[in-house]
Structure 1
Amino acid sequence: MAARAGIASSSTTLSPRVAQGGSNIRGEQRGKKRKSPCLSMPLFRSPLSRMLVSPRIQLPGIRLRSPLVGHRKSPYAERRMLHIDLNMEVEEENADAEERGLDSGIDQVHQENAQNCFDADDDVPVALEDEETGVDPGQENIQPWFDPFFDSDVDDVVPVPQENTRKNVVPDNDKRRAIFDAMLVKARKGYLKGHESKEVSAQFSVPVRTVQRIWKKGKSCLDQGIPVDVESGRSRCGRKKMVVDVSRLEDSSILSRTTIQDVATQLGVSTSKVYRMKKEGAIKRVSSSFDPHLTDQNKIDRLRWCLEMLDPRSVPHNPVFKPLFDYIFIDEKWFNITRKTVRYYVAPTAARCIRTIQNKNFIPKIMILTALARPRFDSDGNCTFDGKIGCFPFVTHTAAKRSSVNRPAGTIEMKPIESITKEVIRNVMIEKVLPAVRAKWPREDAGKPIYIQQDNARPHIAPDDRMFCEAAKQDGFNIKLVCQPANSPDLNVLDLGFFNSIQSIQYKSASTTTEELVAAVDRAFEDYPVRRSNKIFLSLHACMREIIEVLGGNSYDLPHIKKGVLERQGLLPLQLRCNAKSVNAAILSLRTMADT
């Protein structure tokens, strides 16, 4: 045992089995099936290798004896073994070796290995030659085994990932079906050969055992005459999903289910469950706003109006709405200087902006009349007419009676008109709207009829107003005034979306006076994109199509026709089509309601 624990000196000869080749020192041939009494253990470079096996060195003449192979002592060389302690650290091993007088031998071997194994010029391993070992010149390419754990710097060792690591490959259901179909093609009379399973395994990068299980499960279904089901059962594991009957919400009032907590109380679940249901689409949040109340006569008027907006040449087989190039939409709206509540983003350390006002119910505002027509484009997509007739505020200019910190007495100020009467509307229409139409309307359509559509507000003038009709026929123009159906803001492009758009733009600029407010609205009106205003006219076509579907009612949802996508693809239509069956049914219903 003492001989096994020591380290061989430099004069110790190597075992004849260390040399590569088919003969030993005496020239005898080595048996083909004879197992070597010395097994070289593989090198583990991972950080966990010190917990698996103890560091060891392989020196010339030192090998580790395998406990599984019967050994026979060779008379030609002396073998040495090291005692292995699996619980010993590197520092403890060095200290133990120093106590036994092994430092000199280890250091000498490290120096020889570092000098002989790697060449200084090209860092290529070279042959280890030892004259005392008696190695033949033809076997001088034997490379020694270098243990990095005995290097001077253990931290510089690069961990090498271990190969043949078992991976838990779980193919999805589509891939499992593809695997079974591939095996079904290779099968002959319901049987497969071993190499065919391996080919499918390599094709889909899954273990062979997984391929065999899928084939066994699918073949069992075929033998029983049932549909093939090779899906994995992993989706059915775990806690079963709780099924919630969302139809119970319909039994309660909408006022008792306005919040997440209310919905959770009505369904008897937690609020987190309601959040997940909302994310999955089981429930959704909707808004309910007031719609105008429609009488039977209002429905008849709305239905008749929408049917008249169809191109007569396309009815009844292929009904298409008019392009509305000859219509000008006008309406009034109050514009406030600012809104009551403003939401904005700041840095976490920023202070909150303080806004003050004497009375939040009396924010300065002004009424503005807006006139808008449909823009026109040429064949190349260039805008030839933007359709923006103008914004006309209802204001007066008066001199200040008293001096103040803001202006002296006598300064001309812009004051909003608080009371809008029919005379005020008539003056604005004759003195501002009609001249703007004659100035901006395309010259090629000056002699054609132009329709100005307004709602049925009481201050509005009648279509047959004498003073307006006389002013509308000047300069060769034929301008007519028409009124849209009552209680129908969805039939005016301004109420349909244009007003909200320019007001949102106007709120982005700070205004403190009436002049600044009017300038901000004019700037928002002029800066509004022309192509976006053209899309609002298509939304008007969509609204009229839905009104025809519901026979004049307003209980419909505005459909999304993806105008932005169609515009990017160059497929945005000029006018929308309507269902011929719906149009015929609406015409028949209109006749029936008119008779009753």
Structure 2
Amino acid sequence: MTKEEGRVGRRRKFVTPWKKAAQEVGDGGAEDRVERLAAAASSSTALSPRVTLDGSNVGGKKGKKRKSPCVAMPFFRTPLSRMLLSPSIRIRSPSIQQRTSPSATTHGICQGREQRTMDIDLNLEPGDTYAATDPGEAGFDHSAATDAQGNGEAGFDHSAATDAQGNGEAGFDPFDSNADDDVLVTLEEIGVDPGQENVQPQFDPFFDSDVDDAILVPQENTHKNVVLDNDKRRAIFDAMLVKARKGYLKGHESKEVSAKFSVPIRTVQRIWKKGKSCLDQGISVDVASGRSRCGRKKKVVDVSCLEDISILSRTTIQDVATQLGVSTSKVYRMKKEGAIKRVSSSLDPYLTDQNKIDRLKWCIEMLDPRSVPHNLVFKPLFDFIFIDEKWFNITRKTVRYYAAPTASRRIRTIQNKNFIPKIMILTALARPRFDSNGNCIFDGKIGCFPFVTYTAAKRSSVNRPAGTIEMKPIESITKEVIRSFMIEKVLPAVRAKWPREDAGKPIYIQQDNARPHIAPDDRMFCEAAKQDGFNIKLVCQPANSPDLNVLDLGFFNSIQSIQYKSASTTTEELVAAIDRAFEDYPVRLSNRIFLSLHACMREVIEVLGDNSYDLPHIKKGVLERQGRLPLQLRCDAKSVNNANNYLRLAISIYKKQQLGWQQPLYKLCV
């Protein structure tokens, strides 16, 4: 025997199990069915592969019936139709020229299963060689798929393949009517299970006229494990308990519950068995799943140790993860769950003992005298005008905006980012007023006054000729400048915009303690404040207390954010943008800031004049939408009593300190 004949002989050993199965079939009914299938295949017009019957190997000793590998499937397809006619199974010949050994190939079968087929030519005899001279005759298809390296490889519904070197490899296509007569498959080499001869196949092209339109769709695995929560498990048990009669269920009732909740019937039966066992024992029904504690155990992290670490060492998630010895993803999940939180710490003014006493006295004096002593509320502040100054820059150093992923970053340039053009604005704001229907009758916007001067240009430039009137910011703000602005701009604006019905009542202008500000008893200001029947007084808020002024509390930041939305390049454009932001700011939002001021004063009383408190959130927007926004906030009477006792004791100690008795006020306990 030559080497080539031995190789071919070894290939035929792979066919032995199929021939052995055919020889073990002793039932004549199975042979008749094989003949009917072959006759139907030869007479088919849509599928015309050549099939020959060779009965030389049929017969022999009768053996036991072999179970089909697909007996678990609800429908059975005959081995002939599975191997020859299924779109997902192919039979091809190995390449003898390249001396490649036959290998098992896995193909997808319907219902999510897999079947392994042997790429073996069942018709080669020892010593025969196979070569396809005409690709068309041998069923060669040039549309075969190629693998990742570009080599041809037979794919789904293709009848030809190429080997790993790219050489053509002829295959057998049972759907090709032009197949060569030499490519034959015998039924004895396939094998037929006589135990399944009376089962109608789910899909058989021999009996289906619409073969081309038939598609095998994989079905979802109905036996997949279903994890139910405890509430749904209890609902299933309750549904079965309603149907039960004397503790027993009928078969269709379990199926009905299974279909209602879309769970397997075995799951329903296990739930019923567990719940019934609890009822038999006289204990409370517990049908909870035992999988609640499965999986990896949650790692418990002690976050109390963060208090012993400097805040500079825990400013980022990476720093916190390093300090706690966990991963950054764990810290992120802890933040999302609320185990830790992100805190912003801003610099607050340093308060002396005298500053705390002044702040506490100011807040207590802001209580409405008509509400003392039980129903304590703050004054509505309709007779107060708040003034303050602020620098407004032309643009920000850093602008954050949103863009498409492919958009490029906008370039913004300036000669020196430490000297961005800016201007100081003096703003006067009062509390807006509304009628009984909620309509605004006074917006409270007294005015917005820029500290600028108008001068003529001395020289010509590319932008303007000489003599053009230009707006220039005032570089030095002195007391004389403040006085002139208060007398020439602020007071006339107050007299022009203040409601006529309150013209004779006292009006208080509240300012901070900046050095350029004039004193409350300034002679020139007092004379101008009494003109036209008005009674305007100037008061100073406590030192180091920006939280007691509505402008610093939120109004300035609001109009500045609006101003930044307008691009400005000159001083005139900047002033115009600030004026538009001041006029466009919603009146209802400015009214909310006054309630925030009430909340701050209430917190100052709680902490006895200190500024170590968090700005409270009272959901003003929600209350306003519901029509329940209050005009004045209440204050706890007990807190006010403690503050009064603290003031009396602090003042007595302060007087003794003036005489030389040293005792710090922060050690006082009320």
8 A contact 2:392–2:422 mirrored in 1: yes
Once the two structures are superposed, residues 317-344 of structure 1 have per-residue CA deviations (whole angstroms, 9 ceiling, x without a partner) of 2222222111111100011111222222
Question: Conserved in 1, the CA contact under 8 Å of 2:85 and 2:205?
Answer: no
Question: 2:88 matched to 1:6?
Answer: no
Alignment of 1:311 with 2:368, yes or no, is: yes
**Deviation digits for residues 20-48 of structure 1, max 9, x if unmatched?**
xxxxxxxxxxxxxxxxxxxxx999699xx
CA distance in 2, matches of 1:5, 1:228: 59
Match of 1:30 in 2: none
The answer for the alignment partner of 2:97 in structure 1 is none
Q: 1:423 to 1:51 in 2, by over 3 A?
A: farther
Q: 1:274 Cα deviation (Å)?
A: 2.0
Residue 498 of structure 2: aligned partner: 441
Paired letter, 1:577: R
- The correspondence for 1:430, drawn from 482, 487, 492, is 487
Deviations, residues 53-84 of structure 1 (Å, cap 9, x unaligned):
977xxxxxxxxxxxxxxxxxxxxxxxxxxxxx
2:298 pairs, out of 241, 256, 273, with 241
**Quick one: which amino acid aligns to residue 578 of structure 2?**
V
After alignment, is 195-204 or 499-508 more displaced?
195-204
C-alpha contact 1:316 1:584 (8 A) present in aligned 2: no
- Matched residue SS, 2:561: helix
After superposing the two structures, state which structure 1 stretch, 511-520 or 157-166, moved more: 157-166
Distance 1:163 1:340 in 2: 59
**Alpha-carbon shift at residue 228 of structure 1 (Å):** 5.6
Secondary structure of the 1:154 match is coil
> Aligned-pair distance for 1:408?
2.0
The one-letter amino acid paired with 2:320 is V
Decide which of 412, 424, 438 is 1:367's aligned counterpart.
424
Q: Structure 1's 197 and 345: CA in aligned 2 closer, same or farther, altered over 3 A?
A: closer
Please state how far the C-alpha of 1:346 moved relative to its aligned partner.
3.4
- The amino acid of 2:325's aligned partner reads G
What is the DSSP-based 3-state SS (H/G/I as helix, E as strand, rest coil) of the residue aligned with 2:524?
helix
Given the two structures, how large is their TM-score scaled by the length of structure 2?
0.65
Is this contact kept in 2: 1:51–1:86, CA < 8 A? no
Partner residue, 2:342: 285
CA–CA separation in structure 1 for the residues paired with 2:636 and 2:233: 46
**Cα contact 1:54–1:86 (8 A) shared by 2:** no
Match of 2:467 among 397, 410, 421: 410
The Cα of 1:164 is off from its aligned counterpart by: 10
Matches within 5 A, 1:40-55: none
1:582 Cα deviation from its structure 2 partner: 2.3
- 8 Å contact from structure 1 (residues 222, 228) kept in 2: yes
Partner of 1:531: 588
**Aligned 8 A contact 2:81 2:204 in 1:** no
User: How much has 1:590 moved relative to structure 2?
Assistant: 2.6
Which residue of structure 1 aligns with residue 457 of structure 2? 400
Corresponding residue for residue 548 of structure 2: 491
> In the alignment, what sits opposite 2:534?
477
- 1:304 shift after superposition: 1.7
Q: State how far apart, in whole Å, the 1-side matches of 2:395 and 2:559 are.
A: 14
Relative to structure 1, the CA distance from residue 183 to residue 488 in structure 2 (aligned partners, 3 Å threshold; closer, same or farther) is farther
Question: In structure 1, the residue corresponding to 2:494 is in which secondary structure?
Answer: helix
SS across alignment from 2:373: coil
Q: Matches of residues 318-397 of structure 1 in structure 2 within 5 Å?
A: 318-397=375-454
Q: Which residue of 2 aligns with 1:26?
A: none
**Secondary structure, counterpart of 2:364 in structure 1:** helix
Distance in 1 (CA, whole Å) between partners of 2:74 and 2:513 is 93
1:63-116 Cα shifts (integer Å, max 9, x gaps): xxxxxxxxxxxxxxxxxxxxxx9999995388799989xxxxxxxxxxxxxxxx
Whether contact under 8 Å (2:509, 2:536) holds in the other structure is yes
Equivalent residues in 2 for 1:14-413 (5 A)? Answer: 92=174, 151=208, 154-157=211-214, 165-166=222-223, 168-180=225-237, 191=247, 193-194=249-250, 204-217=261-274, 229-413=286-470
Give the match's secondary structure for 2:579.
helix
Mapped to 1, the partners of 2:118 and 2:85 lie a distance apart of: 8
What's the counterpart of residue 564 of structure 2? Answer: 507
Does the CA contact (< 8 Å) of 2:85 and 2:175 recur in 1? Answer: no
Residues 378 and 96 from structure 1, CA distance in 2 versus in 1: closer, same or farther, beyond 3 angstroms?
A: same
Look up the SS of the partner of 1:235 in the other structure.
coil
Unmatched tracts of structure 1, length 5 or more: 11-40, 56-84, 101-144
Measured in 2, the distance between the counterparts of 1:42 and 1:555 equals: 75
- Structure 1 CA distance, aligned partners of 2:342 and 2:384? 37
Match in the other structure for 2:519: 462
Question: 2: distance between equivalents of 1:161 and 1:354?
Answer: 56
Unaligned runs of 5+ in 2: 1-27, 41-71, 87-115, 120-156, 158-171, 183-201, 654-670
SS of the residue aligned with 2:510? strand
Asked whether the equivalents of residues 223 and 264 of structure 2 are also in contact (C-alpha less than 8 Å), the reply is no
Quote the offset at 1:369 in angstroms.
0.3
Alpha-carbon displacement from aligned partner over 1:543-566 (angstroms, at most 9, x marks no partner): 112112212111111122222222
Could you tell me which amino acid in structure 1 is paired with residue 174 of structure 2?
E
